[in-house]
Structure 1
Amino acid sequence: MPEKTSKAGKTVAVIGAGIVGVSTAIWLQRDGHDVILIDKAGPGEGTSHGNGGVLASCSIVPVTVPGLLAKAPRMLFDPNQPLFLKWSYLPKLVPWLIRYLGNANVDAVHRRAAALHQIIGDSLADHQALSAGTGAEKWIVPSDYLFLYNDRAHYESDAFGWSVRKANGFEWDLLEGEAFRAYDPAYGPALDCAVRLKDHGRIADPGRYVKDLAAHAEANGARILIGEASDIVRENGSVIGVRVGGETVACDAAVLATGVWSGPLAKKLGIDVPLESERGYHLELWEPNIMPRSPVMVASGKFVATPMEGRLRLAGIVEFGGLDAPPSRAPYALLKKNIEAAIPGIAWKETREWMGHRPSVADSIPVIGAVPGVEGAFLGFGHDHVGLTGGPKTGRLLAQLVSGLSPNMDLAPYSPTRFQ
């Protein structure tokens, strides 16, 4: 646990009550600060509710791998591929997309992997440290994490990604044929090869986990304010409050952690981040007759299946279509088709659907740090597919920065000004 700040405790407004914001709030309280947690919908209501629920420490390889540019057009026109686009949104998407695809090269992948490894590489321990004594620790389940392939050749076709993980210290077991069946007989014969990574974890109910963390913060004195922050108010170059509705909430420092909605407020602070929504979908199968042993990534469909309390959650799909368009039907149909292919004979009593917004920065690296020239302003957003995984570490780093402490890692890769 970080040492106490040498200064008197500050009043800190944390804008955004997802996993990043709530983690920041708890670590700030442990550092002796007073916290106001501001969210337009309340704790754990957005992407922190609907994510895949895996503490995916190994997920350091971005979507933008070499060869993506050649594959993407075919993927967009193949209804069996997990990439969708609302074509009316394309003109608005193009400037971001050009920068995003510009990172589909070997050097950028290794740079992103090294940066993310520092944030998510020890996620299970980070979540355990965050949640200790909060009542939320009951939702954390240590587990393996498996990547499922059709066969050995299919696994070997993914060699680049595994070489990146190996370079960052990850180790795994390969389970094939009968060894895989013995580990988990849930899957059909089409899946005959599995990569098993140990020391990962899952959250049995991500939304309730974040709500329980927030309730602990509130019980320890945090003020939870439901409303939309429209500005961070400054005087003589220092933060003095946050504008919420018609009032200014006084504070000594403000942390912006509203995921994909962070862009406009960051811009008001002079920081322009190329940020876009990767619309993600989940399908929950309640009371399934077959429950897998561990969370898995099914490589052929690029979707995750995670055992949760009372249900199996299927999550994945990337759709570009902005923040305002309604959900599409095709992603739900594809998730259902894919799980029925992976687990023949699966049946369930009730289906629930969800669509949310992953905050995707053009270089696939989150923005974490102080805002230059604005005393008391800090940013923490842009974790694309690993927000739950990286939330506790990000929150701890932000709390240290607010406290005037120097984190024991180089924050340059996450610099808010790297795009200026």
Structure 2
Amino acid sequence: MPGNSNRKHVVVVGAGIVGLSCAFHLHKAGHRVTVLDGLGQNRCASIGNAGVIATADNIPIGTPETLLAVPGMLLDADSPLKIRPAYLGQIFPWLLRMALASRPSRVEEISASLAALLKGALSAHKEISEAINAHTLVRPSGYLRVFETEEGFARSAGDREIMARREVPFEVMDKEAIRSFDPMLAPIFSKAIFHQQCHSIADPTKYITMLRDFLTKQGVAVIPGLVSNFEILEGRATAALTQMGPVAGDEFVIAAGAWSKNLAKQLGNNVPLDTERGYHMMLRTETGRSLRAPVLWTDRSIVMSPIAGSIRVTSSVEFAGLTAAPNFDLVKKSLPFVKQAVPEINSKPESLWLGFRPSMPDSSAVIGQSTGAPNAWLAFGHGHLGLTLGPETGRLIAGMIDGSIIPAHYRAFAPQRFAH
């Protein structure tokens, strides 16, 4: 609203899907917005994901079943979970918190809060995609979770029970139904769970670029700026300190993804954020065709997704921090399995990529008002749901700054949940 009498200058730190979505909604509300991009265009984790708007994904990463599986996964050379030995001491407190969040009572609480937040995710994407003329990138593709064996499918019973309680619609497919849905998939899967209501992004890089370009044309300043600290005066943030100098503002939003922890700490918030390093490779098929929908091969934790005319394969979660060199063998070793699933795939990856998921041990993002500076707001830690929940997070943060949304209503995501 251009005539907003409470117009403020809001400085958003971070130019991924979360930061740009915050900027979109803040600008829409009539505020002056500056976005500080510390990574450079198209280097954020938002562009390298599988493109799934995973509105059915209300089950936390930590469950009793996960805890039982972790020891074996760490000892298995082919496991999708890797912890570099040098990082074990640093990640141990995070893993302990995840274990505590994996109790059945906590899983139920976390699932309920995630389900409530996910209800607005698709409409938030549609609002942004229509505004930036990117609606054709948001596809009603559905999302397919496939299982090699009946035993593997049986192990998903707990997930299916949670989804049923949360009224998340899904369809169970047998081998024939899977082949009928997408003949590109080899007949090696015995069962599948199909989420018809899920959408996907045809090209995350293009989506983010179009949103960024739209904002700059609307007068939002998106400028290079790696924030190292904040200027604090009388308990309030007054400027973000960058290598280019201070950037003053009335309100500040920390949406720097995996780089948010230290920035939040400087504003009085001690949040247990860590990084799940995620890899992808881009593959083409011999026919030039792609899959009908994103596919999660559940038994092997491999996602195969139709992205930008190719198939993007994501696999492996690695705990090694932000500075360790990439280990692309973690994703390349999945290639023989991917060729089993999609025989048309070529054997040589077009490209390889490493990104950093900002992840919380309770699978719940940090969304809300800073503890130490009341004019600062936190919006990070979405883990595997960053693309899914970015636009909805932007709507919430803008509403909290304007006072139309009460932070206490989103207590499950508040920074203060770690104060005790």
TM-score tier by shorter-chain length is: over 0.9
User: Gaps (5+ residues) in structure 2?
Assistant: none
Asked if residue 412 in structure 1 is aligned to residue 417 in structure 2, the reply is no
**Which consecutive aligned stretches of 4+ in structure 1 deviate over 6 angstroms post-superposition?**
none
Aligned to 2:302: 303
**What SS does structure 1 have at the residue aligned with 2:362?**
coil
**What SS does structure 2 have at the residue aligned with 1:174?**
strand
1:120-171 Cα distance to aligned partner (Å, 9 max, x none):
2343222011222213333211211111012444222210011111111111
Aligned to 1:330: 329
Q: TM-score, normalised by structure 1?
A: 0.94
Aligned to 2:14: 16
Aligned ranges 1:64-213 → 2 under 5 Å: 64-213=62-211
1:286 alignment partner AA: R
State the shift of 1:5 in Å: 8.9
State the shift of 1:113 in Å: 1.3
Aligned to 1:400: 399
Mapped to 2, the partners of 1:341 and 1:246 lie a distance apart of 51
The 1:7/1:335 distance shift into structure 2, 3 A limit, reads farther
State the shift of 1:361 in Å: 1.1
Mapped to 2, the partners of 1:91 and 1:369 lie a distance apart of 29
Aligned ranges 1:324-403 → 2 under 5 Å: 324-347=323-346, 350-403=349-402
State the shift of 1:254 in Å: 0.4
Aligned to 1:230: 228
Mapped to 2, the partners of 1:30 and 1:359 lie a distance apart of 27
1:190 alignment partner AA: I
| Alignment RMSD | 1.9
1:23 alignment partner AA: S
Does structure 2 retain, via aligned residues, the 8 Å contact 1:202–1:306?
A: no
Does structure 2 retain, via aligned residues, the 8 Å contact 1:283–1:332?
A: yes
**What SS does structure 1 have at the residue aligned with 2:409?**
coil
Identity %: 33
Aligned to 1:25: 23
Does structure 1 retain, via aligned residues, the 8 Å contact 2:182–2:291?
A: yes
Q: TM-score, normalised by structure 2?
A: 0.94
Does structure 1 retain, via aligned residues, the 8 Å contact 2:315–2:331?
A: no
Mapped to 2, the partners of 1:217 and 1:385 lie a distance apart of 25
Mapped to 2, the partners of 1:5 and 1:266 lie a distance apart of 32
1:66 alignment partner AA: P
Moved more, 380-389 or 400-409: 400-409
Mapped to 2, the partners of 1:5 and 1:104 lie a distance apart of 48
Does structure 1 retain, via aligned residues, the 8 Å contact 2:147–2:190?
A: yes
1:146 alignment partner AA: L
Aligned ranges 1:263-302 → 2 under 5 Å: 263-286=261-284, 289=287, 290-302=289-301
The 1:198/1:238 distance shift into structure 2, 3 A limit, reads same
Mapped to 1, the partners of 2:6 and 2:372 lie a distance apart of 22
Does structure 2 retain, via aligned residues, the 8 Å contact 1:367–1:380?
A: yes
Mapped to 2, the partners of 1:67 and 1:181 lie a distance apart of 29
Mapped to 2, the partners of 1:285 and 1:89 lie a distance apart of 31
Mapped to 1, the partners of 2:344 and 2:191 lie a distance apart of 20
Does structure 2 retain, via aligned residues, the 8 Å contact 1:17–1:39?
A: yes
Give the length in aligned residue pairs: 418
1:237 alignment partner AA: G
Mapped to 1, the partners of 2:5 and 2:166 lie a distance apart of 37
State the shift of 1:59 in Å: 1.3
1:266 alignment partner AA: A
